[in-house]
Structure 1
Amino acid sequence: MATTATDRKLLIDGEWVETGEWVEVDSPYDGSPVARVPKAGAAETRRALDAAERAMASPLPAHKRAEILVRVAGALGRRADEAATQIAAEAGKPMKAARVEVARAMSTYTMAAVEARKLAGEMVPMDASQAGEGKLAFTLRRPIGVVAAISPFNFPLNLVAHKIAPALAAGCAVVLKPASQTPLSALFLAELEHEAGLPPGWLNVVVGPSSEIGDVLVADERVKLITFTGSGAVGWGIRERAARKKVNLELGNATPVIVEADADVEDAATRCAANAFSFAGQSCISVQRIYVQSDVFDDFKARFLPKVEALVVGDPADEATDVGPLIAPGERDRVLEWIDQAKSGGATILTGGDLDGDLLRPTVIEKPAADAHVACDEVFGPVCTLQPYDTLDEAIALANSTRYGLQAGIFTASVKSALRASAALEFGGVTVNEAPTFRADQMPYGGVKDSGNTREGPAWAVREMTEERLVVLQL
């Protein structure tokens, strides 16, 4: 994947700045240099917070916020190829998946603009009690304050959009720390915001070590809300350290799928194959654990494996590629170790488990031990497991058997089974006859247990980023 390295700048207080030190961004596919980004530290982060605080002293009316968000969505549409190419270069995401991410980011901005226009409180029925007789009361939605946003590498455009767009819709200035592996898409979005007329200070982007930037964001009292997507250990650690702030966490999963005997097995196999290995499994809701009712287990396997083996592994810049590289060689090596552990524990590798050049081939593991990493931890790689079960209760228990609870799925022709599973699965979302990797950007998205404590999607995120103020009038 040939790239030409270029230098970028950070956005702080409406200015594009350099720091004299650099973060190197390299291609996950071939290690070639993609770009250099100025390395920020504590001083730049404090400067960004100063700018955000000043910006919020002059609030933007809702209609102006909405207009800016709409203009960003339009700019993304006009520059979609550029945005997708950049995602492929810095994240190693195949172009077909990168194009989907750009389209989704457009949707995220569009939905956030809608929320900016309709953000309002509600009436309180005061005369429902004797004490409230003769009074009128309502609530206002006010911006919570400066938002610190920390985003991961795997969706470097749309997960940034899910933090910036709702915050701006709510009237909150943002200091964004994108993943150091993939900061270019965040800076691209910042460029679009700047060109769309966002005043200085409302969005600031700093790139650098968490030990410096993150510590300032956690400690500085001007930050009222931290929104974090990433690993559970880091996320829950932030929440413990920032006890007086609102900390919204969207974390990992070990995504289960249940395939009942009455399901459309061909459709289930097709959807699972596509969603277990897209972007090399580097999604919080990538299909990982597939539980198939014993009567159709062999049928499912016979349909599923050819679809997996037909996936194209290769250069993410190639439009034909389905599965590209993991974000770093160390991650590839970790996943290989997990595969070897499962094999040593008695599991069968049905396909994959080895490298195609430097790329890990899509891997399907049958019947891993319950304590194998691939069965109970988040793989975050191109690996899924197959396991038969006899009863729906057994399948639900298996699906619930990890500490995670983001999304789960069930394939079945029975409404009764679908509703029963939806009630019993301990996850923030349950999909029926659709892979749980599915996400529409306007829907509430988030988990329970170790998978997080919030719901994203503009309508829900905007409300998280505002506070209710009660107003009582004596009539």
Structure 2
Amino acid sequence: MSKLANEAQSTKQFLMINGEKVEPAKYAPLYSPYSGDEIAQIAMADKELTIQAITAAYNARGVMAKMPAYQRAEILGKVAVLLTDKADEAAEIISRESAKPIMFAKAEVARTIETYKFSAEEAKRIHGETIPFDAAVGGVGRIGYTLREAIGVIGAITPFNFPMNLVAHKVGPAIAAGNTIVLKPASQTPLSALFIAGIFEEAGLPAGVLNVVTGPGGTVGEAIVEDDRVSMVTFTGSPSVGIGIRNKAGLKKTTLELGSNSALIIDKDVDIDQIIERCIMGAFSNQGQVCISLQRVYAHVDVYEEFVAKFTNAAKKLKIGDPLDPDTYISALISKGEAERVLDWIEETKGSSATIEAGGKLQAGILLPTIITEADHSLKVSCQEAFAPVVVVNKVASVKEAIEQVNDSRFGLQAGIYTNNVKNALYASQELHVGGVIINDVPTYRVDQMPYGGVKDSGTGREGIKYAVEEMTEMKLVVWNQS
């Protein structure tokens, strides 16, 4: 056997079903988005193997539903400890499979550890409430209360951009609530999910509770969504796929996080020097492949020129290159196809009044951080989700005008406003039609315990551990007749 074959054999990845590594009939190569080199051979599950994983989760649901809260918390806490010990290894896996620069991969692992810690804490806080039955004439002599019970099998379909933390946002609260999971990770980033499954096994999670099924979305995802034994589907990804899931899910619960073209308003009284670093992070971290990446900026005419000059200057200084280089800020997009799509969108602006202030082209296969000014709202770089290091900056005469521009979107995940005017901040918090308004920071702000989700085409339901637990449980009412 050749050396190359040996290497491919040594990196063969299996499915995780009912606590065992399961080998499918087919494998597919996984390539680095940055170098193009083969990283691993990934198991391609068919419908039968996916159903086998659902069966394992369905059969294990009784074990999890009866597991005491303290035990669920202990397992989740142990996962956080084990992941802390293996943080560098985990960050390298993320970086290799997604081309996320290692500085951001390490930050993702740190957040993932926190997410599992929050999940361990929330496992102990699931509670109901007592109902004042004697408030109604017919309720005298009765007492009642609510319980929150595990929903059963949860189908989790996760994206490539945060392959470890967005898995944690589904798996963590699912286990905290006493559910079982069938997880289908993104095709480009399955290694992170398989790595975490191994950690859960080491932490003592019973067999069948977490099953990882890699393979084509049209096969694996369809089987998960259509199986009646799956009680809930939680999905992060594109609106088109999310809408398809909602249409096929029937009466299943669905939580859908479907992206955005997030905007930032900059008021006239803002010190531009103080916000440039945050705007750079918001726009260009992880190559802009973030659901709440800063894609649109509406700057007051009084500060517009200064902001554009300083923002452009800072963007041009960002280091481009190998994601494993600790100084790299921008690396390759997740695929060549994505880079070509974004270049087409940028090309579209050239026939308009828009100006490309920075970037707009590839350098060694990497899309340079791109800043476009005065782009019409109808251009794809403005009205659709770029999911790339592309930002549109337009000038406005007032905060009111900026809010109208922000709201003129099919999306509504998060929006930000920088202002020193309390009235403008309050007005923005009331009038912005989004799931989260971030005052004096970029819309890219997220910590993992906060409720996170959007309106309009940005999806339904909320993540953030406490809020996800509510989505992943059913309320039961108990009434006692004392007479």
- Normalised-by-shorter TM-score class: over 0.9
| Misfit runs of 4+, over 6 Å | 2-5
TM-score normalised by structure 1 residue count? 0.98
2:215 pairs with 1:222: no
Q: 1:44 aligns with which of 28, 44, 49?
A: 49
1:115-170 deviation line (CA, Å, top 9, x unaligned): 11111111111111111111111001001110000000110000001010100111
Distance 1:263 1:134 in 2: 61
Residue 239 of structure 1 is matched in structure 2 by 246
Residue 465 of structure 1 is matched in structure 2 by 472
Are 2:8 and 2:41, in contact at CA under 8 Å, matched by a contact in 1?
no
Residue 15 of structure 2 is matched in structure 1 by 10
Distance 1:334 1:111 in 2: 38
Cα pair distance change 1:10/1:300, threshold 3 Å: same
Are 1:151 and 1:159, in contact at CA under 8 Å, matched by a contact in 2?
yes
1:440-467 deviation line (CA, Å, top 9, x unaligned): 0000000000001111010000010000
Q: CA deviation at 1:20?
A: 2.9
Distance 1:379 1:440 in 2: 23
Distance 2:227 2:457 in 1: 26
Q: 2:118 aligns with which of 100, 105, 111?
A: 111
> Which residue identity lines up with residue 23 of structure 2 in the other structure?
E
Q: 1:274 aligns with which of 278, 281, 289?
A: 281
Alignment of 1:268-347 (within 5 A): 268-347=275-354
Are 1:5 and 1:34, in contact at CA under 8 Å, matched by a contact in 2?
no
Residue 381 of structure 2 is matched in structure 1 by 374
Distance 1:50 1:194 in 2: 19
Distance 1:270 1:422 in 2: 23
Residue 205 of structure 1 is matched in structure 2 by 212
Are 1:264 and 1:413, in contact at CA under 8 Å, matched by a contact in 2?
no
SS for the counterpart of 1:141 is strand
Q: CA deviation at 1:3?
A: 11
1:204-230 deviation line (CA, Å, top 9, x unaligned): 000011221122112111001000000
Are 1:218 and 1:238, in contact at CA under 8 Å, matched by a contact in 2?
yes
1:27-75 deviation line (CA, Å, top 9, x unaligned): 0001101111211111111111111111112232211111000000111
SS for the counterpart of 1:204 is strand
TM-score normalised by structure 2 residue count? 0.97
1:219-262 deviation line (CA, Å, top 9, x unaligned): 11100100000000000111011121111100110010000001
Are 1:264 and 1:412, in contact at CA under 8 Å, matched by a contact in 2?
no
How many residues are matched? Answer: 474
2:32 pairs with 1:27: yes
2:61 pairs with 1:56: yes
For structure 1, the 5+ residue unaligned runs are: none
Q: What RMSD over aligned residues (CA atoms) do the two structures have, in Å?
A: 1.3
Percent identity over paired residues: 49
SS for the counterpart of 2:460 is coil
Q: CA deviation at 1:4?
A: 11
Q: CA deviation at 1:264?
A: 2.4
> Which residue identity lines up with residue 56 of structure 1 in the other structure?
R
Residue 146 of structure 2 is matched in structure 1 by 139
Are 1:157 and 1:186, in contact at CA under 8 Å, matched by a contact in 2?
yes
Distance 1:399 1:300 in 2: 18
SS for the counterpart of 1:472 is strand
Are 1:409 and 1:431, in contact at CA under 8 Å, matched by a contact in 2?
yes
Distance 2:10 2:188 in 1: 14
Distance 2:459 2:10 in 1: 36
Are 1:22 and 1:38, in contact at CA under 8 Å, matched by a contact in 2?
yes
SS for the counterpart of 1:298 is helix
For structure 2, the 5+ residue unaligned runs are: 1-6
Residue 439 of structure 1 is matched in structure 2 by 446
Distance 2:209 2:67 in 1: 10
Distance 2:210 2:305 in 1: 53
SS for the counterpart of 2:182 is strand
SS for the counterpart of 2:339 is helix
Q: 1:429 aligns with which of 423, 433, 436?
A: 436
Q: 1:174 aligns with which of 171, 176, 181?
A: 181
Distance 2:362 2:185 in 1: 30
Residue 194 of structure 1 is matched in structure 2 by 201
Are 1:264 and 1:411, in contact at CA under 8 Å, matched by a contact in 2?
no
Are 1:343 and 1:368, in contact at CA under 8 Å, matched by a contact in 2?
no
